[in-house]
């Protein structure tokens, strides 16, 4: 029963009633015994809350989670696993009442060689193997082939006894398709350049593609690193721990180990949400960079037939995109970036040409800062009556006066590993946009400023047929 004290607090009691008989005859009275069970009720409520939290975290993970018992029967899985493997589900897909075997068709990367059930990550982990980043192809119940990356571990109890195994599976189909598309575009570029005899065009395009590829690699590496360090497998350990103490959950949660479980689950949920958001953001950036590469190639291939596509854009967005494409290199080389933007009018411009110019100039600023202690690159945006001015200001080694004009010549470079194509192609692209690219420097050790001027009115591009 539940009682309410005078101070308004609740009191839960268990009532036991006994009859008192006189000489074994008729009962003369009854005696009630009240036992305070409030603490047990509070622990039961906490347990229910923890179970709900755990179920929600597991269910909403963007990665497929599978856990099995010592017999290999799948006992826990989430919504992502249901979609990927086609596991039968009920009203509570995260923590089912029944156990189902995984019957999806799993193949090696060739897509035709089956992976036997005993060689799949969950089964291997059950035998004691530490499975990390195993890649394979899953044929879903709908007939779609999905490329997956999986890691799995065996679950052990406090005494070292085997409790089962847990596996985390990520669908990396989109990433692999993007990589294949990137390779296909690169091959197309090489073939088209050779057939047309456009050696310099191919070099320029490859240079620009290479800049974007660095960002693609950074995004892919960051996603892979976050997956490798993911704490998803700890969810299985928590589930196993709760299952092990199913008979005395109230005592366990009140004990020295169990009382930390709610806070641990909340921290784990925050970490997993952060991993998911980072992966989604980086994959979105990767997709955008691949699209940019495709546009670069398409622009060069179609240049002889027609002009570029003119769009009305905010240059601040273009500058942010170009900084993002270089942020991995800035981080590796310890270069700090600063933004000094003013409100400027929208301009009509070929977005991809502007991005090529900015990425090249910002990349050169990063190289210039490598030999100095003060590694800063500032991007400034201003407007005049007729132009928008984008200035990239570095604190690098500077440019001697005799080289200020030569740096835009084809093949001119001061770097041992340079080719002298980046600034040359950037200056040409600026002129094609109806603008200009020029450099300023007070000399050696004084840094440099590169300013891209873009007209407020879009230039009339010739229709070259």
What residues does each domain of the chain span?
2-36, 43-292, 307-455
The DSSP output letter for 346 is -
Which helix H or strand E contains 423, and what residues bound it? helix 422-432
Confirm or reject CATH 3.30.565.10 for domain 307-455, answering yes or no: yes
Residue that the structure tokens 């006994």 belong to = 18
| CATH of the structural domain 43-292, one choice from 3.20.20.70, 3.40.50.12640, 3.60.70.12, 3.30.450.20 | 3.30.450.20
What is d(CA 315, CA 151) in angstroms, rounded to the nearest whole number?
Answer: 43
Residue 264 pLDDT: 78
The pair of three-digit structure tokens given for residue 239, joined into one six-digit string: 């589930």
Question: Which residues does residue 19 pair with via DSSP β-bridges, in sequence order?
Answer: 30
Per-residue pLDDT of the chain (465 residues; tens, 9 = 90+): 777 777 877 777 787 887 777 766 777 777 777 787 777 777 777 777 766 676 666 666 778 888 888 888 888 888 888 777 776 655 444 444 344 445 468 899 888 899 888 888 988 999 999 898 899 998 877 778 889 899 999 998 888 888 999 998 888 888 888 888 877 876 675 455 444 434 444 554 566 676 677 777 777 777 777 676 777 767 777 777 777 777 777 777 777 777 777 787 778 778 777 777 877 777 777 777 777 777 666 655 544 344 467 888 899 988 988 887 777 678 778 889 999 999 999 999 988 788 888 888 988 888 888 777 788 999 999 999 999 999 999 998 888 888 887 888 766 776 655 555 678 878 888 998 999 999 999 888 889 999 999 998 755 544 434
Instruction: Please tell me if the domain spanning 43-292 has the same topology as the one spanning 307-455.
Output: no
Q: Residue 262 has what pLDDT?
A: 76
Q: What's the pLDDT score for residue 51?
A: 65
**Angle formed at CA 210 by CA 136 and CA 446, multiple of 5 degrees:** 140
Number of other residues whose CB lies within 10 A of the CB of residue 20: 9
Q: How high is the pLDDT of residue 101?
A: 44
């Amino acid at each position: 029963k539940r009682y309410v004290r005078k101070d308004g607090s609740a009191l839960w009691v268990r009532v036991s009633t006994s009859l008192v008989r006189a000489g074994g005859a008729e009962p003369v009275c009854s005696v009630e015994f009240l036992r305070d069970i409030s603490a047990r009720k509070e622990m039961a409520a906490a347990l229910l809350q923890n179970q709900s939290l755990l179920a929600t975290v597991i269910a909403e993970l963007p990665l497929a989670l599978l856990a099995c018992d010592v017999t290999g029967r799948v006992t826990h899985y989430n919504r992502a696993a249901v979609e990927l493997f086609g596991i039968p589900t009920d009203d509570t897909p995260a923590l089912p009442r029944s156990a189902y075997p995984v019957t999806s068709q799993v193949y090696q990367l060739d897509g035709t060689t089956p992976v036997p059930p005993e060689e799949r990550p969950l089964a291997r982990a059950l035998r004691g193997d530490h499975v990390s980043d195993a890649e394979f192809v899953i044929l879903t119940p709908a007939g779609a082939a999905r490329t997956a990356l999986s890691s799995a571990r065996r679950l052990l109890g406090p005494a070292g006894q085997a409790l089962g195994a847990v596996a985390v599976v990520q669908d990396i189909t989109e990433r692999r398709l993007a990589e294949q598309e990137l390779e296909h575009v690169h091959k197309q570029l090489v073939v088209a350049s050779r057939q047309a005899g456009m050696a310099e065009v191919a070099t320029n395009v490859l240079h620009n593609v290479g800049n974007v590829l660095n960002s693609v690699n950074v995004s892919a590496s960051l996603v892979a690193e976050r997956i490798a360090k993911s704490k998803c497998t700890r969810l299985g350990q928590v589930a196993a721990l709760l299952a092990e103490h199913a008979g005395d959950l109230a005592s366990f949660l009140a004990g020295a180990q169990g009382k930390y479980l709610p806070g641990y689950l909340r921290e784990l949920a925050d970490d997993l949400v952060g991993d998911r958001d980072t992966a989604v953001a980086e994959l979105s950036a990767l997709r955008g960079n691949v699209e940019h590469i495709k546009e670069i190639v398409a622009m060069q291939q179609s240049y002889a037939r027609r002009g570029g596509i003119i769009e009305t854009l905010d240059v601040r967005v273009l500058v942010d995109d170009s900084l993002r494409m270089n942020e991995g290199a800035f981080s590796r080389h310890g270069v700090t970036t600063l933004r000094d933007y003013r409100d400027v009018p929208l301009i009509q411009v070929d977005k991809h040409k502007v991005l090529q110019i900015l990425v090249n100039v910002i990349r050169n600023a990063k190289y210039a800062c490598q030999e100095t202690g003060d590694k800063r690159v500032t991007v400034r945006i201003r407007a005049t009556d007729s132009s928008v001015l984008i200035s990239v200001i570095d604190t690098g080694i500077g440019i001697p006066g005799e080289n200020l004009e030569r740096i835009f010549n084809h093949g001119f470079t001061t770097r041992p590993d340079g080719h002298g194509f980046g600034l040359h192609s950037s200056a040409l692209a600026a002129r094609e946009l109806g603008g200009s690219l020029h450099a300023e420097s007070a000399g050696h050790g004084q840094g440099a400023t590169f300013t891209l001027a873009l007209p407020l009115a879009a230039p009339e591009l010739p229709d070259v047929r």
